[in-house]
Amino acid sequence: MTGAWARPLVLGLETSCDETSASVIDAEDRILGHVILSQDVHEVFGGVVPELAARAHLQKVDAVVDRTLREAGVALEDIDVFGVTTGPGLIGALLVGVCWTKAVAWGLDRPWVGVHHMEAHLFAPSLEVPEAEPPFVGLLVSGGHTMLIHAEAWGRYRLLGQTRDDAAGEAFDKVAKLLGLPYPGGPSIQRTAVDGDPKRYRLPRPMLRSDQRPGDAAYYDVSFSGLKTAVVELVRSVEEEGGEGAVEAARADIAASFQQAAVDVLVAKTMRAVEQTGCPRVVLGGGVSANTLLRAEMARVLSATPVGEAGDRHVFTASPRLSLDNGAMVARAARFRYEQGETAEMSDSAHSGMPFPGLTTENGSGGTAQPRT
Ligand code: KG4
Ligand code: ZN
């Protein structure tokens, strides 16, 4: 069929963790079809079980793609390019999407493109807000990664900072578990914190000191394991002092105090990047960017930061649906890579720890800087 869509039509498939998602977009970033299926099998375990994730992807991938195509009003044969997340992520889960894509691309004699999951997150806001284009300071905060980058152009990224231990989302998930809140922890903490007082408990803001200077290794880096330990100790002391039921009674205040501490650090480090690069445009990507406090604080503090004209200061975010793992961002990143002339080979595969394409470290060395997770 020949619709009114701008070619190429790209099908993006995401199976790196616990969402099976597919989307068809056209060359003007119109999302023609988009299905996100979250696996609920993990909830009872309080975290993602890799083998169960892979099995669930295998069971559901065909149905998810079928529904996406129906929603888009196109047939599989209409797809010009197949994009799939090839890493980083859970290897068994990634392999499901990659094998599906290779088989279909081979069967239809179409190109396929491997996509880096975190680069895809960076593209997500641009699907809804076309101005969310480089140059910008990007804060990527997900369950496995926390990275602060300067995007000079699509495909040309400078790594400014990253986490030294836990990722931001991981910290939300661990603290939620500690407080007896359901997985995934980020949304649980956010919901619980609504009724809490963020000033009730003074938690540390790790790696954030006013004597840090540009060039110091710690200037942009973040760390969340110390904050998590501080919450562990807080919970213990609340329990010891208050007895049974005390933690439950303090839960909203602990959640709010933790959320505020995590957000303060992320906002402060991002503002350092804004000041040092002189770039007042900020893009937030990854699951934690769905956090309403993070969005609000980032916008509030950026508007008061004297960099650029007031009208240029802007925080770009995707809607919550596109902030979490989804196929549309994979399709968007795949289209970019395809237009760069990058297509994958039949022998290419998935990589649980895939290097971020086009990412250089602060001093410009290397092209395969691999964030610690
Ligand atoms: O990007 P994502 O969907 O998957 C990965 O690539 O990891 O991010 C998932 C992470 C989880 O740790 C989840 O708890 C966190 O994002 N998250 C949130 C919120 N929604 C999801 N964290 C804080 N506030 C939220 N509203
Ligand atoms: Zn993600």
Range of the domain at 349: 10-123+323-361
* C-beta 185 within 6 A of ligand 1: yes
Best residue for ligand 1 mutational test, from 140, 142, 147, 177 (most atoms within 8 Å of Cβ) = 142
Domain-located, residue 135: yes
Label residues 58-71 b or e (16+ Cβ within 10 Å = b).
bebbeebbeebbeb
The domain total for the chain is 2
Nearest bound ligand to CA 182? 1
The pTM score is 0.96
Is 16 contained in some domain?
A: yes
**pLDDT score at 362:** 62
pLDDT for the residue numbered 156:
98
* pLDDT, position 46: 87
Same domain, 254 and 162: yes
Nearest residue to 291 (alpha-carbon basis) of 74, 129, 143, 101: 143
Question: Are 71 and 217 members of one domain?
Answer: no
Same domain, 105 and 221: no
Mutate to test the pocket of ligand 1, among 39, 48, 94, 172 (most ligand atoms within 8 A of CB): 172
Residues 313 and 166 in one domain: yes
Residue 366, domain member (yes or no)? no
Same domain, 151 and 261: yes
Cα 241 to averaged position of ligand 2 atoms, centre (Å): 39
Query: Does 161 share its domain with 84?
Result: no
Q: Are residues 304 and 342 in the same domain?
A: no
Residue corresponding to tokens 């030294």: 164
325 lines ligand 1 (CB under 6 A): yes
Assess if residue 1 is contained within a domain: no
Residue 85 shares a structural domain with residue 101: yes
Does one domain contain both 151 and 289?
A: yes
**Each residue's pLDDT expressed in tens, for the chain with a length of 373 residues:** 557 899 999 999 999 999 999 999 999 999 999 999 999 999 889 899 999 999 999 999 999 999 999 999 999 999 999 999 999 999 999 999 999 999 999 999 999 999 999 999 999 999 999 999 999 999 999 999 999 999 999 999 999 999 999 999 999 999 999 999 999 999 999 999 999 999 999 999 999 999 999 999 899 999 999 999 999 999 999 999 998 899 999 999 999 999 999 999 999 999 999 999 999 999 999 999 999 999 999 999 999 999 999 999 999 999 999 999 999 999 999 999 999 999 999 999 999 999 999 999 965 443 344 443 3
The CATH number that applies at residue 113 is 3.30.420.40
Instruction: Looking at the structure, tell me whether residues 109 and 224 fall in a common domain.
Output: no
Name the amino acid, one letter, at 88: P
Could you tell me if residue 180 is inside a domain? yes
Residues 42 and 191 in one domain: no
Domain check: are 265 and 294 in the same one? yes
CB 294 within 8 A of CB 266: yes
Which residues have CB under 8 Å from 14's CB, separation 6+?
20, 21, 22, 84, 85, 97, 117, 120, 325, 326, 327, 329, 330
Q: Say what the pLDDT of residue 217 is.
A: 84
Instruction: Evaluate whether residue 168 is within a structural domain.
Output: yes
Would residue 331 count as lying in a domain? yes
Do the domain assignments include residue 238? Answer: yes
Q: Is the Cβ atom of 172 under 6 angstroms away from ligand 1?
A: yes
Q: Ligand 2 centroid to 142 CA: how many Å?
A: 5
Q: Is the CB of 318 under 6 A from ligand 1?
A: no
